Structure 1
Amino acid sequence: MLYAGVDIGSTTSKAALVDEDGREVMFASIMTEFNRNASGEKVLQNVLEKAGASIEDVAYTISTGYGRKAFERADKNIPEIIAHAVGTEYVYPGARTIIDIGGQDSKVIELDAGGNVDKFGMNDKCAAGTGRFFEVLTHRLLGVEMEELSDLILKAENPVEISSMCTIFAESEIISHLSQNIPIEDIAAGTGVSIARRIIAQGKAARISFPEPIVFSGGVANNKGIERIFAKLLNKEVHAIEKPQSTAALGAALRARKEHQKA
């Protein structure tokens, strides 16, 4: 018997399966479509096909993320903050801080010694401090794909100062730096520093002290350059996990197993 977690985010939809012993079986990710319910169905079918299973093998399903309430097949839905905590504790036991940067939001979550959410800060009202902020500013202005961004940041020698966190005003600053022939790696790194500072401030505003171990998740966690920036600004080790987009879906799947077994 399998248990499914479906995380329908603003940019990508993810699904994870765990077995009766709580072991991760499979993970899948697709781009989120306009129809959130259809996205959930598609990514769930995708992960089942990868696992060589069918919907009849799934005993219980929990959804999370922005589109969690739209997913009609789910037996229950839970907030993504809880799902992230459960999933992160599974992949990185003992984690005390989670920095998660998604396509259109960012979160800083502090966990207690038992892996439960103690406090959190979240930005889901503004593109600043999100993957979308990176995408708009670097792809459109610098002509750099997201996959190339990490290497550029790691090559930077003198990151520029990007003082504005408003996407429009930051764009003007970047254009000004480009007109001065500043190397694009220094502009990319400056953008990364600006985003990291905002997210750290977001956490501190929620009275998060960034206790270690600190885990970096979400799509932006694939960027080693940003991981290094966080570590430098916090003066602490920051650990990007494998499959950084999987934690919420995995946490939902683990909670699905728990809900079904206690019923």
Structure 2
Amino acid sequence: MAYAAGVDVGSTQTKAVIIDESKRILARSLVDTGANVTRAAEHAFQEALQGGDLREEEVEYVVGTGYGRYKVTFGNTQVTEISCHGRGAVHLFPGTHTVLDMGGQDTKAIRVAPTGEIVDFCMNDKCAAGTGRFLGAAASALELSLGELGPTALRGERPVKISTTCTVFAESEVLSWLGKGKKIEDILLGVHQSIAQRSVGLLRRVGIDPEVTFTGGVARNQAMIAALNERLGLTVNVSDQSHYIGAIGAALFALDHIVASRAPARAVEEAS
């Protein structure tokens, strides 16, 4: 049995996934990236090995992806996160034509072929107004954890209008609304709707072709899912694997290498 792994080193968190020859996910792990990116990649991989009850030498090929993909020093090669998210999204949701990847550092809109190959993509500008970092700024201003943002926003009824397009000023605007007596729930609902609006604008640049699959760490936020569904007029694909889709795609590329390396040997066997 062959095993392949993908390690997705994001700006905030690092994910590792191990699959077998049938593309079944055997183990996955999630750790904070922190300041030592190389250590985070190794830690995530070791956690996945432990979860799958596997030894490192049993994993034949490892692909690194994400912004810190070159820090996966034990890996065999690297693949861009755009390619990995496209491949992983189509693997989990075969009807996928459009992918929205929302992470801590940036947001990407990706249009994919039925095979998972990239047709087109675009990213948000250098300002992080449409990313997890923007949510982090709001959480900091309101003294809430990231996990509290979604549930709190879902209780909002009258969303405020968030006009800033810069994370640097996000805390100031949130605090300004708070000072005007607005409810935290309504402020956060406005924050989520603002990010969703910018994300849909990004998707329109590549073309919104259903099905739309939502990936990245922010895909765990129920308020963001609801805001996107409302703006798009459809239901985005999301699952408990959405945060791992980049690592899943990387693992699938790793499996491709294993299969390709065995092809010459099989050809010789068949010829003989």
The question of a shared fold, defined as TM-score above 0.5 by the shorter chain, is answered with yes
1:86 maps to which residue?
87
1:102 maps to which residue?
103
CA deviation vs aligned residue, 1:170-205 (integer Å, no higher than 9, x gap) = 33322221111111111001011111111222232x
Letter in 1 for 2:102: I
Could you tell me whether the CA contact under 8 Å between 1:7 and 1:249 is conserved in 2? yes
Could you tell me whether the CA contact under 8 Å between 1:37 and 1:71 is conserved in 2? yes
Report the structure number with the largest CA radius of gyration: 2
2:239 maps to which residue?
241
Distance 1:114 1:44 in 2: 27
2:269 maps to which residue?
none
1:199 maps to which residue?
199
Could you tell me whether the CA contact under 8 Å between 1:111 and 1:117 is conserved in 2? yes
Match of 2:229 among 220, 228, 231: 231
Q: State the secondary structure of the residue aligned to 2:154.
A: helix
1:255 maps to which residue?
253
Could you tell me whether the CA contact under 8 Å between 1:215 and 1:240 is conserved in 2? yes
How much identity, in percent, do the aligned residues show? 37
Distance 1:244 1:60 in 2: 23
Could you tell me whether the CA contact under 8 Å between 1:4 and 1:252 is conserved in 2? yes
Letter in 1 for 2:39: A
Distance 1:168 1:132 in 2: 10
1:158 maps to which residue?
158
Distance 1:90 1:26 in 2: 16
Distance 2:21 2:174 in 1: 51
Q: State the secondary structure of the residue aligned to 1:245.
A: helix
Deviates more, 1:15-24 or 1:47-56: 15-24
CA deviation vs aligned residue, 1:205-238 (integer Å, no higher than 9, x gap) = xx32211111111111111111111111111222
Could you tell me whether the CA contact under 8 Å between 2:9 and 2:66 is conserved in 1? yes
**Structure 1 segments (4+ residues) deviating >3 Å:** none
2:30 maps to which residue?
29
Q: State the secondary structure of the residue aligned to 1:17.
A: strand
Q: State the secondary structure of the residue aligned to 1:155.
A: coil
Could you tell me whether the CA contact under 8 Å between 1:97 and 1:110 is conserved in 2? yes
Q: Normalising by structure 1, what TM-score?
A: 0.94
> What root-mean-square deviation, in Å, do the aligned CA atoms of Structure 1 and Structure 2 show?
1.4
Deviation for aligned residue 1:259: 1.0
Distance 1:34 1:170 in 2: 24
Unpaired runs of 5+ in structure 1?
A: none
Could you tell me whether the CA contact under 8 Å between 2:64 and 2:250 is conserved in 1? yes
2:171 maps to which residue?
171
Unpaired runs of 5+ in structure 2?
A: 262-272
CA deviation vs aligned residue, 1:78-126 (integer Å, no higher than 9, x gap) = 0000111111111111111111111111111111233321111113722
Give the length in aligned residue pairs.
Answer: 260
Alignment of 1:36-115 (within 5 A): 36-115=37-116
Q: State the secondary structure of the residue aligned to 2:243.
A: coil
Distance 1:10 1:217 in 2: 15
Distance 2:52 2:103 in 1: 26
Could you tell me whether the CA contact under 8 Å between 2:111 and 2:120 is conserved in 1? yes
Q: Normalising by structure 2, what TM-score?
A: 0.91
Q: State the secondary structure of the residue aligned to 2:17.
A: strand
Q: State the secondary structure of the residue aligned to 1:61.
A: strand
1:118 maps to which residue?
119
